[in-house]
Amino acid sequence: MTANRFAQKALSEWMKEDGPDSDIVFSSRVRIARNLRGFPFPILATGEHSTEVMNKLSTVAMEGKLDSIGNFETLILSDLSELERRVLVEKHLISPSLANESRVGAVVLSDNEAISIMINEEDHLRIQCLYPGFQVKEAWQLASRIDDIYEEATEYAFDEKRGFLTSCPTNVGTGIRASVMMHLPALVMTQQINRILSAITQVGLAVRGLYGEGSEALGNLFQISNQITLGQSEEEIIDNLHGVVRQIIEHEKAARQRLMQESQLRLEDRVKRSYGILSHAAIMESKESAQRLSDVRLGIDLGMIREVSPQVMNELMVMTQPGFLQQAFEEKMNTEQRDMRRAELIRIQLASRSQDGGAYE
Amino acid sequence: MLCQECGKRPATLHFTKIINGDKNEFHICESCARERGEGLPGAPNGFSIHSLLSGLMDFEPSGKASSPSQIAAQALRCEQCGLTYSQFTKLGRFGCSSCYKHFEDRLDPLFKRVHGSTSHVGKIPQRSGGLIKTRREIDRLRQEMKSSIQKEEFEAAAGLRDEIRQLEKQLHGASEE
């Protein structure tokens, strides 16, 4: 089973690399939406149309045209189990809509899982590139290169006035969605977050909590992305996002510093309590685990906890999701069993990390 | 916890609404949620970007509901995929790339609202976009020429004029082929 390789490990290879500002920006992502000329969009496509689109697009990778970028593997969605699809969603390698709605869908994944090319999602083609840390520009450049390769091999639906035509009017024009995932515990603790987030929405960017539903952010993780795709060039869109994220980083840094100056003991108490609970608890609900993992990660970044590496937080964040838990323990579970298994998994992970004897300094 | 709306059934929906910075927490049961029209997250009839969009698409610039032009719009149909304009407003998605042409007259207000703009200025396809690129270049040079003339830099303007002519010739040649 080839999908197993992608579904087994919680941490993608690319996440293990260090990126700039990775204490606050966990990852940067750019997604490009494209469609082929002459075919209805997936929402109205017949099975025949979708199969033809799939064949046209999947040959690009199979004929080795992407070799200059890296090694790729193509997974056909209908070959995967429901659980495998769920894990791929939790790792952000495919979208929920590709996993649940697409009839003739596929995903082309690079070896390190940094590139995911979805076929017959909401649009015929969606190219997604992920980078560790704050590297939106790099992600855009790579996505654009892959875009050029597909454009060379196929014919895109493009209109001089409207740009690249997409199924949803919110993507038309550049078809680009750039986003960063930010960990902002200090801005949440100092209650500045709402003020900052509402300012963000006024400059054409959107914010949403990660893994959480609606506006609630689990684990103080926020995804910030561009809203506008028409009337601005890709560079303007990326620069705009880049500038705003840079400012948020500075605000978060200042808030962390202020916390350290004004209430270091209380902060340290909170961090170490969370560390203690994660290391010993027998039942761990997902909401609590997200909050405690966020505390521990902040403690690591501030030098309060030295024996655990910062990647543990990223890794556990994915591993404690329901689909991945079931995959790891190879059984279907109800909520209570999951909370028990989650606690167990966190305990094991933290214990093995701290036995490494402070590998991380 | 009991539903704060009916006080009878247990509250199964917990959510936070932020409107203009005011945060409100709600704890209600499913049937009250349905009555109030609160979408269940993840449920098929839930609130989505597409249902939000359909609200924007009913937007009529002249302001009068069910004006003759609006009725005409509802009857619009994409000749390629068969999607009607009224279906489009409900789906919040186009059916094919030709929808953009067939609904053309209706789209400017929508794009203005969503993007604050109506035309693309970004990347152009390498292969099929050659002519478009030339046209954009000509537009850019014309602007430059205008500002040169305003600054009374006539020599520079003449150079730009020649460049424009050269490109126009190219464009002409390509379209005749």
d(CA A322, CA A349) in angstroms, rounded, equals 17
Contacts of A35 in chain B (CB under 8 A): 97
- Of the given ranges (A103-107, A356-360, B54-58), which has the lowest mean pLDDT? A356-360
Q: Do A25 and A151 touch, CB atoms closer than 8 A?
A: no
Cβ contacts (< 8 Å) between B79 and chain A: which residues? none
Confidence at residue A73, expressed as pLDDT on a 0 to 100 scale: 93
Comparing CA positions, the residue from A230, A151, A157, A175 lying closest to residue B96 is A157
pLDDT value, residue A321? 82
Q: What percent of chain B has pLDDT over 90?
A: 20
Confidence at residue A357, expressed as pLDDT on a 0 to 100 scale? 45
pLDDT digits (tens, 9 = 90+) for B42-52: 344 445 556 66
C-beta separation of A154 from A194 below 8 A:
no
Using CA atoms of A177, A180, A181, A183 in order, give the dihedral in degrees to the nearest 10.
Answer: -150
Interchain CB distance below 8 Å, A165 and B97: yes
User: Considering CB atoms only, which of A151, A198, A234 is closest to B125?
Assistant: A151
Contact A159 B97 (CB under 8 A): yes
Distance from CA of A51 to the nearest CA of B (A): 16
CB contact under 8 A, A231 and B94: no
Contact criterion met (CB < 8 Å) for A158 and B80: no
Burial (0-12, 13-18, 19+ Cβ within 10 Å), B65? exposed
Q: Tokens representing A6?
A: 């992608």
Q: Which residue of B has its CA nearest to A40?
A: B96
Q: Is the CB of A215 less than 8 angstroms away from the CB of B16? A: yes
Range from A64-68, A250-254, B5-9 carrying the lowest mean pLDDT: B5-9
Q: What is the pLDDT of residue A19?
A: 85
Q: Is B83 near chain A, with CB under 8 Å?
A: yes
C-alpha atoms less than 13 angstroms from C-alpha of A185 in its C-beta half-sphere: 23
Nearest CB among B49, B110, B122 relative to A163 is that of: B122
pLDDT (0 to 100) of residue A131: 92
**Secondary structure of B1-12 as H, E, C letters:** CECCCCCCCECC
Interface residue A222 vs chain B (CB under 8 A): no
pLDDT score, position A4: 63
Residue B172, token pair as written in the block: 């002409």
Interface of A with B in 265-304 (CB under 8 A): none
Chain B residues near residue A165 by CB distance under 8 angstroms? 94, 97, 100
Interface predicted TM-score (ipTM) over 0.85: no
Least confident of A279-288, A335-344, B15-24: B15-24
**8 Å CB contact of A213 and B42:** yes
Is A31 part of any known ligand binding site? yes
Contact (CB<8Å) B16/A156 = no
Using an 8 Å CB-CB cutoff, list chain A residues near B50: 168
Residues 146..175 of A with a Cβ closer than 8 Å to B: which? 147-148, 151-152, 155-170, 172-174
Number of CB pairs, chain A paired with chain B, less than 8 A apart: 136
The predicted model gives B11-17 an average pLDDT of 72
Q: B152 CA to chain A: closest CA distance, Å?
A: 31
B44 by DSSP, 3-state: which? coil
Using an 8 Å CB-CB cutoff, list chain B residues near A46. Answer: none
B126–A152: do the CB atoms touch at under 8 Å? yes
State yes or no: pLDDT of A353 exceeds 90.
no
Which of A28, A30, A29, A43 has the alpha carbon at shortest distance from A166?
Answer: A43
- pLDDT exceeds cutoff 50 at A359: no
pLDDT above 70 (res B66)? no
Asked if residue A213 belongs to a known ligand binding site, the reply is yes
Q: Cα-flanking dihedrals φ and ψ of residue A37, to 5°?
A: -65, 140
Q: Which of A253-257, A285-289, B2-6, B161-165 has the lowest mean pLDDT?
A: B2-6
| Tens digit of each residue's pLDDT (9 = 90 or more) over A264-282 | 999 999 999 999 999 999 9
Q: What sign for the dihedral angle of Cα A126, A132, A137, A142?
A: negative
Q: So what's the pLDDT on residue B53?
A: 63
Query: Where does the pLDDT of residue A90 fall: very low under 50, low under 70, confident under 90, or very high at 90 and above?
Result: confident
Mean pLDDT on A66-90: 90
C-beta neighbour count of A250 within 10 angstroms: 11
Predicted local confidence at residue B34, as pLDDT: 61
Q: pLDDT band for A156, please (50, 70, 90 cuts).
A: very high
Q: What pLDDT was estimated at residue B138?
A: 85
Mean pLDDT of chain B: 76
Instruction: Please tell me the predicted confidence (pLDDT) of residue A25.
Output: 94
B88-112 pLDDT tens trace:
988 889 999 999 999 998 899 999 9
CA-based nearest distance A280→chain B, Å: 29
Q: What is the mean pLDDT of residues A70-99?
A: 89
- Mean pLDDT throughout A299-324? 86
Q: Is A157 annotated as a binding residue?
A: no
Check residue A1 and give its pLDDT: 42
More confident of the two residues A163 and A310:
A163
Q: In the sheet where A106-110 sits, what is the strand order? A: A72-76, A106-110, A115-119, A125-132, A25-34, A176-183, A221-226, A205-209
For A124, phi then psi, to 5°, come to -60, -40
In a mutagenesis test of the A interface, which of B84, B96, B124 is the best target, namely the one with the most A β-carbons within 10 Å? B96
Across the interface, of A35, A152, A232, the residue whose CB is closest to B121 is A232
- Judged against a pLDDT cut of 90, whether residue A229 lies above it is answered with yes
Residue A220, both tokens: 């103080």
Residue B155 has pLDDT above 80, yes or no: yes
Domains of chain A: 9-17+27-173 (3.30.590.10), 263-354 (no CATH)
pLDDT for A125-154, tens place per residue? 999 999 999 999 999 999 999 999 999 999
> What is residue B105's predicted lDDT score, i.e. its pLDDT?
87
pLDDT for the residue A216:
58
Is A210 assigned to a binding site? yes
Handedness of CA A130, A135, A139, A142 (dihedral sign): negative
- pLDDT of residue A2 exceeding 60: no
Per-residue model confidence (pLDDT) at position A283: 96
Kindly report, residue by residue over A166-208, the tens digit of the pLDDT.
999 999 999 999 999 999 999 999 988 888 888 888 888 988 8
Q: Would you state the pLDDT for residue A360?
A: 43
